[in-house]
Structure 1
């Protein structure tokens, strides 16, 4: 899995930071991508990556504030104008369907590909057998969600050397054995793949937060995550102002990562009031509580 930050500013863009959007590569296979939020200018940011709107299979909208959705109508239309016919699914709060349909109708636009819009509630959103995605309700002035992406455990490594010593030749049978299936050999022996697999490989977990003040759902969303992406709009001295507007500080994001026993934290959604030096100070505040903190910049990538 890999995340690429297309926008890392809060509220309004700056010279170096666009507003919120995160491109997510769900696995090692295929070119499909997911997008988390779609602030104004997201399709311009995509032009500076190896991806394009046609690669995007799913878009998750945390909430309907403009810095998270004003880029969505343009991206949907560009995807159609580029000739993409691949289906696209949107997930987000109540009102997302009305917003998209109204923008398309009033602008005389349309999509030439299947477009599904799911207005969600907290809970499991889907499980495709490889990844399970759940949503949690966050503390913000409007309905807002965070996302927990859990990769199913992988089968352990197949003991190919031991199988070869037992007279099992590499080939199609190995694929079945790696899945833990039973196979019958030409000599009549039955081999149980489960007996030739090492311990399962634990799947990775990523928690991506929308805008939020500290709240009761945060720990559940972040618990044990390999990576947390969390806003750090303001510095700790401005906690009261941040929380009153449904936002968090650098130290509050770090405290959550620490209490959730997470492996890594990436802070983003940085207020436009901060220069690069100010953003570095936010990072230092987070690292004082949770050393494994990174500061997102536009086009910064993180792999798991």
Structure 2
């Protein structure tokens, strides 16, 4: 799994940062990409990466402010033009369906694939054998949601040496043991799965939060996360503005990460008022509360290492 930031700015694009979009690359896990928010010119940002729009399986919208959705029309059309014919699941607050369908109708855009809309965002919104996605309402000036993505524990690891020592031949019986099934050999001997396997590694937990004031829901949704992506539109000196406009300071993002016991905080959604030379000061503010903090740049990428069970910047 890799987390690739396509846009990290707040409100409008700047020379340093495009508007909000994050790609969760699950190419090894499921051969697809999940996109979180789709600000203006997201597809232009994608052109500078290895991501193929037809590989985008799901899009999760945190809220309906323009800097989080104005890139959807172009991206949805391009996904069609580039041969995407698999269904797309689109999750977002009530109104996202109306926005997309109105745009498609007025622009007479025909898509080569169906869109499945999901506007009920509370609790578990997606689950299969490998992944779980939960959501909760945050505290912004319009309904804004956070997403918690959990990879379920990986399958047990087969200890082939033990299995062969017990007489298990190469072939389908090994696969059954790995999948947790007991098997019976030709001589009638039963080999139990737990005799020749060890538990698989736990999966990752990622929380990606929409625009929000400091709130308990963000900490609860991010509890124990390997990486928490939290907006940091303002700093300590502009805390009053943060509250008025429904945003957080980088100090509040760090405090949320501390309360959540999140392992890594990636501060995102940075106001254009902050120039590159301000980032050292912003990091110092955040790390005074949560030491393992990074500030996302456009095209910053973080990868999950299954062996170390940690996220690292690449």
- Which TM-score applies when normalising by structure 1? 0.96
Deviation readout 1:247-287 (Å, 9 max, x if unpaired): 11111111111111111111110001111011332122111
Give the Cα–Cα distance (whole angstroms) in 1 for the partners of residues 27 and 123 of structure 2: 23
Q: Give 1:1-304 correspondences, 5 Å limit.
A: 1-26=1-26, 28-304=28-304
After the TM superposition, which parts of structure 1 deviate over 3 Å for at least 4 consecutive aligned residues?
none
Q: Which runs of 5+ in 2 are unaligned?
A: 305-314
Deviation readout 1:167-209 (Å, 9 max, x if unpaired): 2233332222111111222222222212322234222111100
8 Å Cα contact 2:131/2:150 also seen in 1: yes
Q: Is the partner of 1:57 in helix, strand or coil?
A: strand
How far did residue 216 of structure 1 move? 2.5
Deviation readout 1:199-257 (Å, 9 max, x if unpaired): 34222111100000011311210111111011111111211211221111111111111
Q: CA-atom RMSD, angstroms?
A: 1.3
Q: Which runs of 5+ in 1 are unaligned?
A: none
8 Å Cα contact 1:9/1:268 also seen in 2: yes
Q: Is the partner of 1:67 in helix, strand or coil?
A: helix
How far did residue 30 of structure 1 move? 4.6
Of stretches 181-190 and 257-266 in structure 1, the one that deviates more from structure 2 is 181-190
Give the Cα–Cα distance (whole angstroms) in 1 for the partners of residues 30 and 149 of structure 2: 18
Q: Is the partner of 2:273 in helix, strand or coil?
A: coil
Of stretches 267-276 and 195-204 in structure 1, the one that deviates more from structure 2 is 195-204
- The alignment covers a number of residue pairs equal to 304
8 Å Cα contact 2:27/2:33 also seen in 1: no
How far did residue 28 of structure 1 move? 1.9
How far did residue 27 of structure 1 move? 5.5
Give the Cα–Cα distance (whole angstroms) in 1 for the partners of residues 77 and 122 of structure 2: 29
